[in-house]
Structures are given as C-alpha cells and as structure tokens.
C-alpha cells in the first residue's frame, strides 16, 4: 500500500504520534496486549455494504448484526468466567443475535444466563475437548498427518473435535489410519472439507504491493509500537523487508513457522505506523481500537494486498492446520476468501484486530476458506503493544 493512501485528513488528529507502515495497523511492545472492548461510532455505510455483499444481508440486518457482535465480544469474557470449569465453548448465533455459551451443568447455565448470554448444556467441557485436540496434535508431531487431512479443531456446537478430510481422500489408507487414531483420544467427528488441501498465501514479487522479502510478496497485518505484525512464513528472523517503493522498511525481528505462523518486523527511517487497516476503496480505511476476540459465528473482514477487502464469518477456533510445510496450531478458520500475496494481511471485526492471514484454499472468484493467526498471541509472545486509535 502506498504511504500516501493511508493518512486521511479526518484521521490526522488521532495519528499525530502514529507510525505508518503501509497496510495500516501498528506494532507495539508489552506482553499485556491491552484488549479493549469494541467502541466507536456507528459502522460506515461502505462497511455495511461490504457485509451485505459478502454475507447476503439487507442494510438493516448488517447494521444490527454489527451491533449484536460488538455486544457479544464484550460479553464473552464475563460469561466464560461465570461458567467456570463447566465452560464448554462459546459462539455467536446469527439467528438470534446472541452469544451462546456451552456449559456442562445447570448451575453454570443459570450463571451464564444471568450475565445476559444464552446457555446450552453440552456433554464435554472445553478443557476436555482441548485435551483431545492436544493429544491429536502430539500424534501429528510424532508422525506427520497425511495431506488428505486438512485440519482439526474443537467444535463446541458439535461437542467434539472435528477432523476435516479433503473431499475424495476419505478412503485413503493413511487418512483412515489417522482418523482411527484420533478417535481413540476421545469424541471425534469427521467432516468432508470442501476444496483442496490448505496452502499459504505468499506470492512472487509483483509491483505496487505493501512489502517484499526476498522474492516473496506479503501483506502487512497490524501496526504495533515499533513495527508491524505479519505471517511467519513470509520471512525468517533477520530477513529484510522492503516497501511498495522498494525502500527498506526494517527487518524481521522474530518469526515462527510452522508450529505457529507469526512474525514481527521493525520499521526504520522514512516509515512509521498508524492504527489503520486499509479499506482499498471498498470501505473507508478502518481505525483499530483494540483486539477483543470475535466469537465463532461472528462476521469478520480481511484486508490484503492482492484481493483487497473481503468479508465472511468465523467458522472455528484453535484449529490445527496441516500445511505441506508442517502443522500450525491454534488457528482461526473463516469463510473469507484470499489469494497469493494476501499472507500476513489483517483480519478485523468492527474496529477490533483479530489476526494475520496465514493460508487457506480457493480464491476470491470461486470462494474458499482461510485461516488466521490470532493477533493477541503474537502480541503476547513478542511483548508487543498494539497501536490503537
């Protein structure tokens, strides 16, 4: 993204102390990633329009959904605490517009309802299902999962760990063996995954894009104080990063892939950061005001240097993604499309930073799914502080 695009007159008062790094978010410093609740003005008409286009909503439905999701993001941590050890996961129900919390007993259900969320009795707690997923992860560490297995995650609504198998690979001997081993660990459901095996979204060098490292083009995620966060597969520690104009931005200060897919890059002279995500003309550039986590079922949008701005919904959390380079853990899956060059770009819900684009399958012509690395984990790992408005 060109530096001249990002700083708008209307934002100047907010951005006096900012540092612009191109795709508009901001690096920071401090393991306490200060998660602020959703706030700010009513959503813009263009943001509402993007949700209408990508989610098939009317104007009033899109406006109401954004309000409901903002309320659900504020409520989720309180409802989780109220559920205690009986917590069985949570998700946003677009049909009712409410946060739903799974619980394993009636007492916890009453406590959750008292907080204002809906409660559903489930057979297994989140802790139990997390343990099943962790056991499957350990098996995959000892012996790599077959490429016909695309990912696995805890699904609170299904009350089990869901193993996603690429359609057509169900009868493969290695896939069947992996699934049978997984089922020995606890409640497991197998689903046929649409599309192909997942891959990352880095791309060869193309002119006019946010940043390059070597011959790879990726997208800036979010500004932190001192730099920006992005995808780990885009560069190794020490690698240099160049901006859209070829000038040096800085260097990869930390990077992890596979296992994780996150990195952060410092910014040097001539580059600075601001708490903004580029809307690419589809929507106004979006201010970043915090990083409260959106629940499963919530709408979410992505900004990237190849396909620009697209929206969808959060499909699953804490999913292990089986890339050809190795498994990546604790990812969030969405129905948003992406293409090569979008890697590292911003996932945002309302004005809340969610994560950086990792990979997926499909494209923005025929559709697909994507995974992102949650931003709060990146901030905590590197001791960064999100640059917010």
Question: Residues with catalytic annotation?
Answer: 233, 261, 343
Query: Token digits for 308?
Result: 């620009």
Strand partners, 287: 276
Find the distance separating the first CA and the last CA of the chain, reported in whole Å: 20
The neighbour count for residue 335, using CB atoms within 10 Å, is 20
CB 20 within 8 A of CB 228: no
Please choose, from the candidates 64, 87, 93, the residue with its C-alpha nearest in 3D space to the C-alpha of residue 295.
93
CB 384 within 8 A of CB 27: yes
Helices assigned H by DSSP within the chain? 3-6, 45-55, 59-83, 106-115, 126-142, 173-183, 375-382
Distance (Å, rounded) from C-alpha 224 to C-alpha 25? 7
Please choose, from the candidates 388, 366, 378, 362, the residue with its C-alpha nearest in 3D space to the C-alpha of residue 150.
362
CB 362 within 8 A of CB 167: no
Query: Token digits for 271?
Result: 């580059």
Distance (Å, rounded) from C-alpha 26 to C-alpha 223? 1
The set of residues, in sequence order, having a beta carbon less than 8 Å from that of 184 and lying 6+ positions away, is none
The neighbour count for residue 264, using CB atoms within 10 Å, is 28
Please choose, from the candidates 202, 221, 164, 155, the residue with its C-alpha nearest in 3D space to the C-alpha of residue 376.
221
Please choose, from the candidates 388, 389, 363, the residue with its C-alpha nearest in 3D space to the C-alpha of residue 375.
388
Q: Annotate 220-264 with DSSP letters as a single string.
A: --EEETTEEEE-GGG--TT-EEEETTS-EEEEEEEEE-SBS-EEE
Distance (Å, rounded) from C-alpha 22 to C-alpha 244? 8
């Amino acid at each position: 993204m060109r530096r001249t695009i990002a700083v708008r007159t209307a934002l100047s008062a907010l951005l006096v102390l900012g540092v612009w790094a191109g795709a508009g978010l901001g690096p920071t410093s401090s393991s306490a990633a200060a998660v602020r609740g959703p706030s700010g003005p009513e959503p813009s008409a263009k943001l509402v329009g993007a949700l209408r286009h990508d989610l098939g909503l009317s104007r009033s439905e899109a406006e109401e959904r954004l309000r409901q999701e903002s309320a659900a993001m504020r409520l989720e941590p309180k409802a989780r605490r109220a559920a205690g050890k009986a917590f069985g996961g949570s998700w946003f129900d677009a049909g009712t517009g409410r946060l739903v919390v799974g619980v394993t007993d009636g007492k916890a259900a009453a406590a959750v309802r008292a907080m204002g969320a809906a409660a559903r009795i489930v057979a297994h707690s989140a802790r139990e299902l997390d343990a099943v997923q962790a056991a499957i992860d350990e098996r995959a560490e000892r012996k790599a999962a077959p490429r016909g297995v695309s990912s696995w995650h805890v699904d609170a609504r299904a009350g089990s760990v869901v193993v996603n198998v690429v359609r057509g690979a169900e009868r493969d001997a290695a896939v069947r063996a992996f699934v049978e081993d997984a089922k020995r660990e606890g409640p497991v459901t197998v689903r046929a995954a649409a599309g192909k095996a997942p891959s990352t979204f880095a791309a060869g060098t193309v002119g006019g894009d946010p940043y390059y490292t070597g011959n790879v083009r990726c997208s800036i995620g979010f500004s932190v104080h001192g730099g920006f966060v992005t995808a780990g597969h885009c560069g190794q520690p020490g690698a240099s990063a160049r901006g859209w104009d070829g000038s040096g931005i800085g260097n990869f200060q930390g990077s992890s892939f596979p296992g994780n897919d996150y990195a952060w890059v410092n910014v040097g002279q001539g580059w600075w950061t601001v708490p903004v995500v580029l809307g690419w003309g589809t929507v106004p550039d979006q201010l970043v005001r915090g990083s409260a986590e959106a629940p499963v079922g919530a709408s979410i949008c992505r900004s990237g240097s190849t396909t620009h701005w697209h929206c969808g919904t959060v499909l699953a959390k804490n999913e292990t993604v089986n890339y050809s380079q190795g498994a990546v853990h604790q990812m969030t899956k969405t129905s948003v499309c992406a293409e090569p060059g979008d890697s590292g770009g911003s996932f945002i819900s309302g004005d809340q930073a969610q994560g950086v684009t990792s990979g997926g399958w499909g494209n923005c012509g025929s559709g697909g799914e994507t995974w992102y690395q949650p931003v709060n984990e990146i901030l905590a790992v590197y001791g960064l502080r999100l640059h917010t408005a």
